[in-house]
């Protein structure tokens, strides 16, 4: 049986980095995430807010999640304001 390309990526270094970054991102923002979003190198949370992989990995490496948390919080406020204006 011939394996497809995804079989070769299982357990790769990139996959490990994505899984670790996604897990930590989800923990810090309190929202589920998926990767890749829009076929790009970004995470998307359940609220629809996107986070570049490089920014999330940078936060993971430095331990400073302030800008990531701020982006999620500001994104939630913007979403709520849009919903309020529609109603």
pLDDT per residue as tens digits for the range 7-57: 445 678 888 899 999 999 999 999 999 998 888 999 999 999 999 999 999
| 3-class SS of residue 34 | strand
Q: What pTM does this model have?
A: 0.80
Is pLDDT above 70 for 2? no
Cis peptide before 36 (omega within 30 of 0): yes
């Amino acid at each position: 049986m011939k394996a497809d390309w995804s079989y070769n990526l299982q357990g790769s270094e990139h996959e490990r980095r994505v899984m670790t970054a996604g897990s930590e991102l989800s923990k810090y923002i309190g929202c589920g995430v998926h990767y890749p979003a829009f076929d790009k190198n970004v995470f998307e949370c359940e609220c629809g807010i996107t986070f570049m992989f490089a920014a999330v990995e940078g936060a993971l490496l430095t331990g400073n999640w302030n800008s990531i948390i701020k982006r999620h919080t500001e994104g939630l406020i913007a979403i709520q304001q849009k919903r309020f204006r529609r109603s």
